[in-house]
Amino acid sequence: MTDAIVVSDLRKSFGNIEALRGVSFVVRENEIFGLIGPNGAGKTTALRIVSTLISPTSGRVEVFGHDVVKEPDKVRGILSYLPEEAGAYQYLSGMEYLRFMAEFYSHDRAETDRMIKNAEEISGLGERLRDRVNGYSKGMKRRLLLARALMMKPRLAILDEPTSGLDVMQAYHVRESIKEYSDKMGVTILVSSHNMLEVEYLCHKLALINEGVIIAEGTPAELKERYNAINLEQAFMEATQLG
Protein backbone atom coordinates (compact mmCIF):
# COMPACT_ATOMS: atom_id res chain seq x y z
CA MET A 1 0.00 0.00 0.00
CA THR A 2 1.27 3.47 -0.94
CA ASP A 3 2.12 6.18 1.57
CA ALA A 4 -0.37 9.01 1.04
CA ILE A 5 1.15 11.44 3.56
CA VAL A 6 4.60 11.37 5.14
CA VAL A 7 5.24 13.96 7.85
CA SER A 8 8.81 14.11 9.19
CA ASP A 9 9.97 16.18 12.18
CA LEU A 10 7.46 18.93 11.41
CA ARG A 11 7.91 22.16 13.32
CA LYS A 12 5.99 25.41 13.19
CA SER A 13 6.50 28.54 15.25
CA PHE A 14 4.40 31.69 15.37
CA GLY A 15 6.72 34.19 16.97
CA ASN A 16 7.67 32.73 20.33
CA ILE A 17 4.90 30.13 20.23
CA GLU A 18 5.82 26.62 19.09
CA ALA A 19 2.63 25.17 17.64
CA LEU A 20 4.33 21.99 16.38
CA ARG A 21 7.44 20.52 17.98
CA GLY A 22 8.82 17.70 15.83
CA VAL A 23 5.64 15.98 14.64
CA SER A 24 6.03 12.83 12.53
CA PHE A 25 3.40 10.41 11.21
CA VAL A 26 2.51 8.42 8.09
CA VAL A 27 -0.92 8.02 6.49
CA ARG A 28 -1.40 5.08 4.15
CA GLU A 29 -3.46 5.25 0.96
CA ASN A 30 -7.22 4.60 1.45
CA GLU A 31 -6.87 5.05 5.22
CA ILE A 32 -8.95 7.28 7.47
CA PHE A 33 -6.32 8.75 9.77
CA GLY A 34 -7.25 10.85 12.79
CA LEU A 35 -5.12 13.58 14.33
CA ILE A 36 -6.69 13.73 17.76
CA GLY A 37 -6.21 16.12 20.65
CA PRO A 38 -7.66 19.02 22.63
CA ASN A 39 -8.16 22.52 21.25
CA GLY A 40 -4.81 24.25 20.78
CA ALA A 41 -2.87 20.98 20.46
CA GLY A 42 -1.58 21.80 16.96
CA LYS A 43 -4.06 19.80 14.85
CA THR A 44 -5.21 22.63 12.59
CA THR A 45 -1.66 23.92 12.11
CA ALA A 46 -0.56 20.47 10.91
CA LEU A 47 -3.53 20.19 8.54
CA ARG A 48 -2.89 23.63 7.07
CA ILE A 49 0.72 22.72 6.36
CA VAL A 50 -0.27 19.45 4.68
CA SER A 51 -2.83 21.44 2.65
CA THR A 52 -0.08 23.92 1.53
CA LEU A 53 -1.91 26.85 3.15
CA ILE A 54 1.01 27.71 5.43
CA SER A 55 4.70 26.77 5.34
CA PRO A 56 6.51 24.84 8.06
CA THR A 57 9.33 26.38 10.05
CA SER A 58 11.25 23.15 9.46
CA GLY A 59 10.66 19.51 8.67
CA ARG A 60 9.22 17.84 5.60
CA VAL A 61 5.77 16.84 4.36
CA GLU A 62 5.07 14.76 1.26
CA VAL A 63 1.63 14.06 -0.22
CA PHE A 64 1.71 11.10 -2.61
CA GLY A 65 5.42 11.77 -3.12
CA HIS A 66 5.10 15.52 -3.68
CA ASP A 67 6.82 17.96 -1.33
CA VAL A 68 4.26 20.48 -0.03
CA VAL A 69 6.81 23.31 -0.05
CA LYS A 70 8.58 22.57 -3.36
CA GLU A 71 5.55 21.28 -5.31
CA PRO A 72 2.49 23.01 -3.82
CA ASP A 73 0.55 23.14 -7.09
CA LYS A 74 0.82 19.38 -7.59
CA VAL A 75 -0.32 18.79 -4.01
CA ARG A 76 -3.29 21.15 -4.38
CA GLY A 77 -4.35 19.31 -7.49
CA ILE A 78 -4.92 16.03 -5.63
CA LEU A 79 -6.47 17.13 -2.35
CA SER A 80 -9.55 18.84 -0.99
CA TYR A 81 -9.55 20.73 2.32
CA LEU A 82 -12.51 21.49 4.56
CA PRO A 83 -11.60 23.95 7.34
CA GLU A 84 -13.49 24.01 10.61
CA GLU A 85 -14.97 27.46 9.98
CA ALA A 86 -15.74 27.09 6.27
CA GLY A 87 -18.73 28.95 4.87
CA ALA A 88 -20.94 28.89 1.78
CA TYR A 89 -22.51 31.69 -0.25
CA GLN A 90 -25.61 32.57 1.76
CA TYR A 91 -27.84 33.82 -1.06
CA LEU A 92 -27.33 30.86 -3.40
CA SER A 93 -29.36 27.71 -3.11
CA GLY A 94 -27.46 24.61 -2.04
CA MET A 95 -27.61 23.31 -5.60
CA GLU A 96 -26.40 26.61 -7.08
CA TYR A 97 -23.49 26.64 -4.64
CA LEU A 98 -22.48 23.07 -5.56
CA ARG A 99 -22.66 23.83 -9.29
CA PHE A 100 -20.67 27.04 -8.82
CA MET A 101 -17.92 25.16 -6.98
CA ALA A 102 -17.97 22.16 -9.33
CA GLU A 103 -17.31 24.37 -12.33
CA PHE A 104 -13.97 25.39 -10.79
CA TYR A 105 -12.75 21.79 -10.94
CA SER A 106 -14.52 20.20 -13.92
CA HIS A 107 -13.43 20.24 -17.54
CA ASP A 108 -16.85 19.93 -19.14
CA ARG A 109 -20.58 19.91 -18.42
CA ALA A 110 -20.75 16.13 -18.06
CA GLU A 111 -18.06 16.14 -15.37
CA THR A 112 -19.83 18.99 -13.57
CA ASP A 113 -23.06 17.00 -13.56
CA ARG A 114 -21.27 13.93 -12.19
CA MET A 115 -19.78 15.97 -9.36
CA ILE A 116 -23.17 17.43 -8.46
CA LYS A 117 -24.74 13.98 -8.44
CA ASN A 118 -22.00 12.81 -6.06
CA ALA A 119 -22.62 15.85 -3.87
CA GLU A 120 -26.37 15.21 -3.71
CA GLU A 121 -25.74 11.68 -2.44
CA ILE A 122 -23.08 12.74 0.06
CA SER A 123 -25.08 15.63 1.53
CA GLY A 124 -28.34 13.73 1.93
CA LEU A 125 -30.15 17.08 1.79
CA GLY A 126 -32.62 16.07 -0.92
CA GLU A 127 -35.11 18.79 -1.82
CA ARG A 128 -33.51 21.20 0.64
CA LEU A 129 -30.73 21.72 -1.91
CA ARG A 130 -33.22 23.94 -3.74
CA ASP A 131 -33.40 26.29 -0.74
CA ARG A 132 -31.08 29.21 -0.04
CA VAL A 133 -28.11 28.45 2.18
CA ASN A 134 -29.04 31.28 4.58
CA GLY A 135 -32.04 29.16 5.63
CA TYR A 136 -29.92 26.12 6.54
CA SER A 137 -29.15 24.97 10.05
CA LYS A 138 -25.48 24.63 11.04
CA GLY A 139 -25.69 20.88 10.48
CA MET A 140 -27.17 21.30 7.01
CA LYS A 141 -24.44 23.76 6.06
CA ARG A 142 -21.79 21.34 7.27
CA ARG A 143 -23.30 18.54 5.20
CA LEU A 144 -23.32 20.82 2.16
CA LEU A 145 -19.68 21.77 2.70
CA LEU A 146 -18.65 18.14 3.21
CA ALA A 147 -20.34 17.32 -0.10
CA ARG A 148 -18.42 20.15 -1.74
CA ALA A 149 -15.13 18.82 -0.37
CA LEU A 150 -15.71 15.24 -1.53
CA MET A 151 -17.70 15.60 -4.74
CA MET A 152 -14.64 15.81 -7.02
CA LYS A 153 -13.28 12.50 -5.67
CA PRO A 154 -9.92 13.84 -4.43
CA ARG A 155 -7.11 11.39 -3.75
CA LEU A 156 -6.84 13.02 -0.32
CA ALA A 157 -9.55 14.76 1.70
CA ILE A 158 -8.47 16.81 4.73
CA LEU A 159 -11.29 17.51 7.16
CA ASP A 160 -10.74 19.81 10.14
CA GLU A 161 -13.22 19.11 12.97
CA PRO A 162 -15.97 18.04 10.52
CA THR A 163 -18.64 17.59 13.22
CA SER A 164 -17.72 20.54 15.46
CA GLY A 165 -20.80 22.20 16.97
CA LEU A 166 -23.29 19.76 15.46
CA ASP A 167 -26.07 18.00 17.34
CA VAL A 168 -26.08 14.22 17.70
CA MET A 169 -28.16 13.49 14.60
CA GLN A 170 -26.26 15.85 12.29
CA ALA A 171 -22.87 14.65 13.58
CA TYR A 172 -23.97 11.05 13.01
CA HIS A 173 -24.92 11.82 9.40
CA VAL A 174 -21.59 13.55 8.71
CA ARG A 175 -19.61 10.64 10.19
CA GLU A 176 -21.60 8.09 8.20
CA SER A 177 -21.11 10.10 5.01
CA ILE A 178 -17.34 10.25 5.54
CA LYS A 179 -17.04 6.54 6.28
CA GLU A 180 -19.33 5.47 3.44
CA TYR A 181 -17.57 7.71 0.94
CA SER A 182 -14.14 6.46 1.97
CA ASP A 183 -15.23 2.82 1.69
CA LYS A 184 -16.99 3.34 -1.64
CA MET A 185 -14.46 5.56 -3.42
CA GLY A 186 -11.21 4.48 -1.78
CA VAL A 187 -10.25 8.04 -0.90
CA THR A 188 -7.63 8.76 1.76
CA ILE A 189 -8.92 10.96 4.58
CA LEU A 190 -6.98 12.94 7.19
CA VAL A 191 -9.36 14.18 9.86
CA SER A 192 -8.77 16.23 12.99
CA SER A 193 -11.02 16.13 16.03
CA HIS A 194 -11.10 16.74 19.76
CA ASN A 195 -14.00 14.27 20.06
CA MET A 196 -12.13 11.06 20.79
CA LEU A 197 -15.19 8.87 21.12
CA GLU A 198 -16.46 9.58 17.61
CA VAL A 199 -13.10 9.00 15.91
CA GLU A 200 -12.81 5.66 17.68
CA TYR A 201 -15.61 4.60 15.33
CA LEU A 202 -14.47 6.54 12.28
CA CYS A 203 -10.69 6.14 12.00
CA HIS A 204 -8.51 3.20 11.03
CA LYS A 205 -5.50 4.75 12.76
CA LEU A 206 -4.88 7.67 15.11
CA ALA A 207 -2.14 9.95 16.33
CA LEU A 208 -2.75 11.57 19.71
CA ILE A 209 -1.28 15.08 19.80
CA ASN A 210 -0.85 17.38 22.78
CA GLU A 211 0.99 20.69 23.01
CA GLY A 212 2.45 20.25 19.53
CA VAL A 213 3.85 16.75 20.14
CA ILE A 214 2.62 13.30 19.07
CA ILE A 215 2.32 11.35 22.30
CA ALA A 216 0.95 8.06 20.94
CA GLU A 217 -0.03 6.45 17.65
CA GLY A 218 -1.86 3.30 16.59
CA THR A 219 -5.26 1.84 15.84
CA PRO A 220 -8.05 2.60 18.33
CA ALA A 221 -7.84 -0.98 19.62
CA GLU A 222 -4.04 -0.82 20.01
CA LEU A 223 -4.17 2.45 21.95
CA LYS A 224 -6.86 1.20 24.31
CA GLU A 225 -4.91 -2.01 24.93
CA ARG A 226 -1.60 -0.16 25.40
CA TYR A 227 -3.04 2.06 28.13
CA ASN A 228 -5.51 -0.47 29.54
CA ALA A 229 -8.30 1.99 28.74
CA ILE A 230 -12.00 1.48 28.07
CA ASN A 231 -12.09 4.29 25.47
CA LEU A 232 -9.80 6.76 23.70
CA GLU A 233 -10.48 9.57 26.16
CA GLN A 234 -9.04 7.46 28.94
CA ALA A 235 -6.15 6.37 26.69
CA PHE A 236 -5.37 10.01 25.92
CA MET A 237 -5.32 10.94 29.60
CA GLU A 238 -3.05 8.01 30.41
CA ALA A 239 -0.70 8.88 27.52
CA THR A 240 -0.57 12.51 28.65
CA GLN A 241 0.36 11.54 32.21
CA LEU A 242 3.02 9.11 31.06
CA GLY A 243 4.43 11.67 28.62
- φ/ψ (deg, to 5) at 228: 50, 50
Is 83 contained in some domain? Answer: no
Tens-place pLDDT, residues 142-189: 999 999 999 989 999 999 999 888 888 888 888 888 998 888 888 999
Helix, strand or coil, per DSSP, at residue 210:
strand
**What average pLDDT does this structure show over 6-14?**
98
Distances from the Cα of 196 to the Cαs of 85, 215, 231, 239, in angstroms? 20, 15, 8, 13
124 and 220 share one domain: no
Res 133: pLDDT: 94
- Is pLDDT above 70 for 243? no
227 and 129 share one domain: no
Structural domain of residue 66, as residue ranges?
Answer: 3-78+155-242
Res 118: pLDDT: 92
pLDDT top residue among 87 and 172: 172
For residues 43 and 215, is the Cβ–Cβ distance under 8 A? no
pLDDT band (50, 70, 90) for residue 75: very high
68 and 178 share one domain: yes
For residues 95 and 116, is the Cβ–Cβ distance under 8 A? yes
149 and 164 share one domain: no
Instruction: Provide, rounded to the nearest whole percent, the portion of the chain with pLDDT above 70.
Output: 99
Is 135 contained in some domain? Answer: yes
For residues 82 and 158, is the Cβ–Cβ distance under 8 A? yes
Domain CATH for 180: 3.40.50.300
| Count of the separate structural domains present in the chain | 2
145 and 197 share one domain: no
For residues 202 and 175, is the Cβ–Cβ distance under 8 A? yes
72 and 163 share one domain: yes
pLDDT band (50, 70, 90) for residue 88: confident
Is 61 contained in some domain? Answer: yes
- φ/ψ (deg, to 5) at 12: -145, 125
H or E element in which residue 188 lies: strand 188-193
195 and 125 share one domain: no
Is 84 contained in some domain? Answer: no
**What average pLDDT does this structure show over 104-108?**
86
Helix, strand or coil, per DSSP, at residue 166:
coil
Is 190 contained in some domain? Answer: yes
Tens-place pLDDT, residues 22-64: 999 999 999 999 999 988 899 999 999 999 999 999 999 999 9
Q: What share of the chain is helix, strand, coil (3-state, %, to 5)?
A: 45, 25, 30
Res 203: pLDDT: 94
Is 27 contained in some domain? Answer: yes
